[in-house]
A and B are shown apart, each in its own frame.
Chain A
Amino acid sequence: MKKLLALLIFVLMFLAACGGENTSSNNDNANDEDTEENSGEDNDEWALSESIEIVAPAGAGGGWDTTARMSAQVLTEESLIDQDIGVVNKEGAGGAIGWAYMAEQEGSNHNLFVSSSPILLVPLNGQSEYGHEDFTPIANVIADYGAFAVAKDAKWDNLNELFEDMKEDPQSVTIVGTSAPGSMDHIQFVRFAKAAGVDITKIKYVSAPDAGGVTQVLNGSADVFSTGVAEVAEQVRADKLKVLAVTSEERLDGEVLSTFPTAKEQGIDETFVNWRGFFGPKDMDPAAVEYYENKFKELSDSEAFAEVRANYGWNEMYMGNEEYKQFLDEEKENLKSILEELGLLE
């Protein structure tokens, strides 16, 4: 009897393990069951015939994962798509594991994934055999902007003062970011430094994963924190950090955000967008691409998604298939020349 009970506990644990696994890969299933009935009848030329899988090529909780999950949720709740949407995490190697998985889905019309700048940078660094050319860009939906922040009592009050010092001695200033050299936080700073005429090959960049960036600027270990706007807004509000510049074209909306000067208004003609959007595999049916393009447009225009954007501090940035593709090609050329100059191009 006692043994039976112990065995029962074990079996329960096992079931839970399997259950847990399912939920993490397919969390929307439970919520979606009620919408299943009214699927099928669709007036579009190309209709969904099975459930969709959206891959987040990163772990749970990150930017790609939240974009995928929140989009899936709004698409379902607003009945924009009547099929089940499952979000799957294919984590690893800065996205390369997920992209390799997507490359195997060639020709599929039901597999999508979320991506952003790393899909340009990681292949350029030589760490992924697949780049955006190997997939079908469907639509961009959101944008984040970067910010360069320093401690409240730092000697620089604007970007030009910082760059003047860096022109004299680039090594006197330590830049800290979350990602590795050659990826986003580093490159966005380098782009502006280059536009200002700093010798970018001598820039001192420290990579501090685990959110060490804010800490290092606050305790004086590093001077400039190169990161996303959302990461520093709260610190500015609490009067701990000040933002020298944001990377957007125009000032951002919001009580605190609108006080951040752009680099452009300080005379440095450069911008950087951390765009984020959806891709399909290679050789996706053009009719399917068009179908998704429209759905993501509806998603982007919906009020529910506007609320999601507001909560996360994301900006609206819709681009359809053609425009997106062209944007990506240009962006990649631009990044390529910078990485080449830094000697990081593989």
Chain B
Amino acid sequence: MGAIEGILTGFEVAFSWEGILFVLLGVFVGTFIGMLPGLGPISAIAIMIPITYGMDPTLALVMMAGVYYGAVFGGSTSSILLNAPGISGTVASSFDGYPMAQQGKAGKALAIAAISSFAGGTISVVLLMIFAPMLASVAISFGPPAYFALMLLGLTAIASLSEGSTIKALISAVVGFMIATIGIDPQTGTGRFTFGSMNLLDGIDFLVIALGLFAIAEVCYLVMNRHKTAAGSGKEIGSLKLSKDDAKEMSGPVGRQSLLGFILGILPGAGATIASFISYIAEKRIAKKPEEFGKGSVKGLAAPEASNNAATSGAFVPLLSLGIPGSGTTAVMLGAFLVLGLQPGPMLMGDRPEVFWGIIASMYIGNIFLLVLNLPLIPYIARILTIPRPLLISLVLMFSLIGVYAISFSVFDLYLLLAFGVIGFLMRMFAFPAPPFILAFILGGMMEKSFRQSMTISNGSISILFENNISLVLIILSVLSFAFPIANSIWSKKKAG
């Protein structure tokens, strides 16, 4: 069966009434789960596995895929409104989404997020459909040295993520790095910085840190400054409508970051979270007014939102065409394939085209449903902000606690959450930026892993990092990315002087 025929079969499955029903069910559950901090698509899909046992495999998988990208779609809502990221892929969306909502433009922020998500999701599905069979080779082209170089490139942007003192941003990043080393070291199997506590053997969950540094710290801040900022309460939601200028401003980042997000999504291990951060940074780097980022910039919200949704579709490339799960969620989906009697792998497209193409085709419908489902709800959801502040603060606190507890049902994680909340609050008081911390944490773990893997493979020779074309190019880019702002500032000083 040719690819065209396969695609048609896929659409047939996706457009059957059962197909539409299950996509709808999936994206609905996904949006909902995504909005709730802590609860993510992994647990939702794992719970679905026994329920779908015996179902038509295509429909079951179409639904699970819907939960996955639906959660990434919905996750931005709580990031924007409450500064409490719904899932790890939407942490970066709070950088500009939350300030925007605080400025009385919550409606607009949610609309931007929804439209960027929709565009990112749809653009990437088109790419997925056209290139999936060919992209399989991209997914495996990255060896440990290339991953190391990619993470290095991401890290060179720490300085650009900071407002004010670069030294403070670097200190923040170093602490993030240090926190990332806690837990069992995968290359030796020994525990590091666990202080003999079993609870730290797995390291600290990304969401615990993100919710602590953002949501809990914000709660502390609001409580401490309750009199000062009282004037801002009873907030406006603002209009949903995007002006022509907004639309124009969004189109660039959405187009670029959908592409970048998709490519990063294809790489196993990178995923939506890393994609959203890198896209945010990339967009800030090329922005004409980078100083607007972090203060409610349209571009700063559109970029990570387009990127994380695009990365989600990208993650289906290695899963469907190679049988390699690139993220926790796709690993669970791989399990679902097996239960349903399917073998995801290079043979899937030929053996079961209706499954392969059915899932891809259903994503078009899923993304449209998500937009239709989310846009009309925005005015209602955004009204959360009109809840009196004392009540809102307690609700954020409660959701964060429930969300963290739901990750691993561990009371210890709750203490960690509160500790990171206090750390986040202190950082804010003393003007240490939180984004470099979180960026270093997420990239640092992977960077260390790939560096150590490279060193094991090369028997300790550092030259392995420069022998591979991909890593060489990425390292050169990192050096440029690092040197350019320095050169630029020297240049402008000279000019001024």
A residues engaging B (CB < 8 A)? 2-3, 5-7, 9-10, 13-14, 16-18, 20-21, 23-25, 27-28, 59-62, 65-66, 69-70, 73, 88-94, 96-97, 100, 125, 127-128, 171, 174, 180-183, 204-212, 214-216, 218-222, 230, 233-235, 237-238, 240, 311-313, 344
**Are B406's CB and A24's CB within 8 A?**
yes
Report how far A324 CA is from B462 CA in the complex, Å.
48
Q: Are B456 and A204 in contact (CB under 8 A)?
A: yes
A313 touches B338 (CB 8 A): yes
Given A6-B383, A20-B406, A92-B408, A214 and B36 contact (CB-CB distance below 8 Å): no
Determine whether the beta carbon of A210 is less than 8 Å from that of B268.
Answer: yes
Q: Is the CB of A222 within 8 A of B387?
A: no
Could you write out 27 A-B pairs with CB less than 8 Å apart?
A: A6-B385, A7-B387, A7-B391, A9-B380, A13-B36, A13-B399, A18-B402, A25-B409, A27-B50, A59-B408, A61-B331, A61-B332, A62-B335, A66-B49, A66-B335, A70-B50, A93-B184, A127-B191, A207-B453, A214-B322, A219-B141, A219-B142, A220-B143, A234-B344, A235-B345, A238-B346, A344-B189
Is residue B324 contacting chain A, with contact meaning CB distance below 8 A? Answer: yes
Q: B189, A125: Cβ atoms under 8 Å? A: yes
* B341 close to A311 (CB less than 8 A): yes
- Beta-carbon contacts of B329-352 to A below 8 Å, as 1s and 0s? 001100100111101111100000
Identify A14's interface contact among B191, B347, B385, B398, CB under 8 A: B398
Within 8 A of A (CB), among B419-457: 449, 453, 456-457
Tell me whether B103 is interfacial, beta carbon within 8 Å: no
Judge whether A90 and B184 touch: CB under 8 Å: no
What residue in chain B is nearest A307 (Cβ atoms)?
Answer: B341
A237 and B199 in contact, given A16-B32, A60-B43 (Cβ under 8 angstroms): no
**Least CB distance, B26 to chain A, in whole angstroms:** 15
Are A235's CB and B383's CB within 8 A?
Answer: no
Complex CA distance for A9 and B339, rounded to whole angstroms: 36
User: Knowing A3-B386, A92-B202, A96-B201 touch, does A209 contact B186 (C-beta < 8 A)?
Assistant: yes
50-97 of chain B: CB within 8 A of chain A: 50-51, 53
Residue of A13, A90, A220, A237 ringed by the most chain B CB atoms within 10 A? A13
A17 touches B406 (CB 8 A): yes
A238's contact among B49, B188, B341, B347, by CB below 8 Å, is which? B347
B395 at the binding interface (Cβ < 8 Å)? yes
Instruction: Determine the chain A residues whose CB is within 8 A of the CB of B268 once the complex forms.
Output: 210-212, 215
A97 to B341, CA, bound (A): 32
CA distance A27 to B381 in the complex (A): 29
For A25, list chain B residues within 8 Å (CB).
409
Chain B residue contacts of A13, Cβ below 8 A: 32, 35-36, 399
Cβ B139 vs Cβ A215 within 8 A: yes
The answer, among A3, A181, A215, for a CB contact under 8 Å with B383, is: A3
User: Can you name the residue of chain A whose Cβ is closest to the Cβ of B38?
Assistant: A17
A235 to B346, CA, bound (A): 7
Q: Tell me the complex Cα distance, A92–B197, Å.
A: 12
Residues of chain B within 8 A (CB-CB) of A174 are 456-457
Distance from B106 Cβ to chain A, minimum over Cβ atoms (Å): 12
Given A208-B453, A211-B268, A222-B457, also A234-B346 (CB < 8 A): yes
Kindly provide the distance from the CB of A203 to the nearest chain B CB, expressed in whole angstroms. 11
- Sample of 7 further A-B pairs with CB below 8 A, known A17-B403, A92-B202, A92-B408: A6-B384, A16-B32, A18-B402, A21-B405, A27-B51, A73-B53, A311-B338
A73 to B457, CA, bound (A): 44
Given A25-B409, A60-B47, do A181 and B189 touch, yes or no (CB 8 Å)?
Answer: yes
Are A219 and B50 in touch, CB under 8 angstroms? no
Known contacts A127-B184, A211-B331; is-contact A17 B347 (Cβ 8 Å)? no
The reply to whether the CB of B208 lies closer than 8 angstroms to some CB of chain A is: no
**A-B interface, 10 closest residue pairs, ranked by CB to CB distance from nearest:** A60-B46, A234-B345, A238-B346, A61-B332, A221-B143, A93-B201, A6-B383, A180-B189, A61-B46, A182-B189
Choose one: B144, B341, B408, B410; the contact of A221 (CB below 8 Å): B144
Q: Which residues of B contact A212 (CB under 8 A)?
A: 268-269
Find out whether the CB atom of A238 lies under 8 angstroms from the CB atom of B331: no
Contacts of B286 in A (CB 8 A): none
In chain B, residues 317-331, which have Cβ atoms closer than 8 Å to a Cβ of chain A? Answer: 318, 322-327, 331
Residue contact B339 to A10, C-beta cutoff 8 Å: no
Is there a chain A Cβ closer than 8 Å to B198's Cβ? yes
Q: Is B33 an interface residue (CB 8 A)?
A: yes
Given A183-B189, A214-B322, verify A206-B339 contact (CB < 8 Å): no
Bound form: Cα–Cα A303–B215 in Å:
51
Measured between C-beta atoms, what is the minimum distance from A92 to chain B in Å? 5
Select B43's contact among A7, A24, A88, A215, beta carbons within 8 Å.
Answer: A24
Judged by a CB distance under 8 angstroms, whether B169 is at the interface is: no
Residues on the A chain within 8 Å of B456, using CB = 174, 204-206
The reply to whether B324 and A215 contact each other, CB–CB distance below 8 Å, is yes
On chain B, the residues within 8 Å of A235 by CB distance are 323, 345-346
Residues of B within 8 Å of A233, CB to CB, are 343
Chain A residues with Cβ below 8 Å from B110 are none
Q: Does B187 sit at the interface, judged by CB under 8 A?
A: yes
CA–CA, A69 to B456, complex, Å? 38
The yes or no answer to B140 lying at the interface (CB within 8 A) is yes
Query: Residue A89 contacts which of B145, B338, B409 (CB distance < 8 angstroms)?
Result: B409
| Contacting residues, chain B, for A204 (C-beta < 8 A) | 456-457, 459
Check if B44 is an interface residue, CB within 8 A of chain A.
yes
Query: Chain A residues near B201 (CB, 8 Å)?
Result: 92-94, 96, 127
Is A219 within 8 A of B140, CB to CB?
yes
The residues of A that contact B211 with a CB separation of less than 8 Å are none
Cβ-closest chain B residue relative to A344 = B189
Neighbouring A residues of B335 by C-beta, 8 Å: 61-62, 66
CB of B281 within 8 Å of the partner chain: no
The smallest C-beta distance from B311 to any residue of chain A, in angstroms, reads 15
With A10-B384, A92-B201, A127-B191 in contact, is A20–B44 under 8 Å at CB? Answer: yes
With CB as the reference atom, state the residue of chain A lying closest to B35. A13
Q: Are A21 and B327 in contact (CB under 8 A)?
A: no
Q: Which of B46, B144, B325, B399 lies in contact with A65, CB distance below 8 A?
A: B46
Is the CB–CB distance between A2 and B386 below 8 Å?
Answer: yes
B382 nearest CB across to chain A (Å):
8
